[in-house]
Amino acid sequence: MPKIFVTRPIPEMGIKMLRDKGYEVLINEAAKERAATLDELKDGARGADAILSVLTDKITAEVMDAGLPMLKIVANFAVGYDNIDLGAAKQKNIMVTNTPGVLTETVAEHTFALMIAIAHRIAEADRFARAGKFTAWGPELLLGTDLCHKTIGIIGLGRIGSRVALHAAKGFGMKVLYYDPNPNPDFEKEFGAVYVANIDELLPQCDFVSIHVPLLYPVKSSEAGTPKELFDRVNSTYHLINEERLKKMKPSAYLINTSRGPVVDEKALAQALKSGVIKGAALDVFEFEPEITPELKELDNVVLTPHIASATIGTRSRMAELAANNIIEALEGRTPPNLVVK
Ligand code: NAD
């Protein structure tokens, strides 16, 4: 009977699908509110045919080795897969899958929730009201910024970036600029969007900048020569937004990040927010999460959410189904639909 190791508890639907197949499902219940430890990952992987992992858990070569010779697939419960050593998986002939598509709308909605929250000072106003500071309506009390008719720059026009562009253009009448290594002329026609050939030219033109790229680290010399589809790191997105680029943004602009924390140099961002280089930021992801750079927590011109952009009941359940389905397809000898590495 195939054995499945689930690194942290996930919505029941995915577990049920695996159990209905007669698989033995081992859930690492100890890691309900924290990441799994290396020992838990290695212990769980031993003898497993499949690992169902979540993004907090680093599936390294060492973890995969613990699962060999049985381990056939690592099914990630996320669209990003920067927590998995893809090179090691490829080398060890272990499939890797993700959960794209089912969370696109939810993450795009959360991006807008953040954008509106920072521009209309929602979190700050909530703190103000709760603190009993609302003594009278005031013509200049907590003035914010409109989204309507402003310019948004989208960095990474994939599934989520495109959905954000749709809300921006059709819902809020915003002008959409975008940068992506792969321009999309059809999208430009549909949304009146304008392609900007590089990020440095895009930043000074935007009132809002929203990031939707995968986290890709720069190529290491030891990885040179690995297949391009795995390590296309010429387009590294690590610290894509750094001190220099923050200075290229307008002092009135806002940065929104729902992609991955290390895409932004968090210390440089905190400094830029403190010194007025940019007006505000709204972040769902953090460079050293679950730690958050302490200065950020003290600033009023920041909205912070704890990596919950895809966290709705429906979406998390669909992610669990997709991850379980990828495992079932792989173990029944078919190609899983969301293959990242074979
Ligand atoms: P996607 O693959 O559809 O889109 C990513 C886009 O980024 C692609 O169009 C790609 O060409 C582009 N890109 C790659 N390198 C780039 C670079 N250097 N500069 C500009 N663009 C670049 O992925 P998606 O489904 O839209 O998801 C995007 C990312 O969002 C995921 O990789 C994940 O890290 C993140 N995400 C976060 C959450 C969350 O909970 N906060 C949830 C889902 C996804």
What does the alpha-carbon distance between residue 172 and residue 294 come to, in Å, rounded to a whole number? 33
Does residue 132 register a pLDDT over 60? yes
* Nearest-atom index, ligand 1, CA of 107: 42
CA triplet 117, 119, 120: central angle to 5 degrees? 65
φ and ψ of 236, to 5 deg: -45, 135
At 259, the amino acid letter reads: S
The full DSSP string for 281-301 is EEES--TTTT---HHHHH-TT
Predicted pLDDT of residue 228: 42
Instruction: Find the 216 Cα to ligand 1 centroid distance in Å.
Output: 10
Does residue 227 register a pLDDT over 50? no
Atom 2 in ligand 1: residue holding the nearest Cα = 158
Predicted pLDDT of residue 220: 54
Average pLDDT score, the chain = 94
Q: Report the candidate in 34, 67, 65, 39 with the shortest Cα–Cα distance to residue 52.
A: 67
> Is 196 a pocket residue for ligand 1 (Cβ < 6 Å)?
no
Q: What is the pTM of this model?
A: 0.94
Does residue 47 register a pLDDT over 60? yes
Does residue 224 register a pLDDT over 80? no
Angle between helices 122-130 and 104-119 (to 10 degrees): 60
Predicted pLDDT of residue 191: 86
What does the alpha-carbon distance between residue 192 and residue 329 come to, in Å, rounded to a whole number? 40
> Is 284 a pocket residue for ligand 1 (Cβ < 6 Å)?
yes
Atom 14 in ligand 1: residue holding the nearest Cα = 213
Please state the rounded mean pLDDT for residues 267-275. Answer: 98
Annotated catalytic, 105?
A: no
User: What is the three-class DSSP state of 255?
Assistant: strand
> Is 310 a pocket residue for ligand 1 (Cβ < 6 Å)?
yes
> Is 292 a pocket residue for ligand 1 (Cβ < 6 Å)?
no
Annotated catalytic, 289?
A: yes
How many C-beta neighbours within 10 Å does residue 12 have? 11
What does the alpha-carbon distance between residue 326 and residue 334 come to, in Å, rounded to a whole number? 9
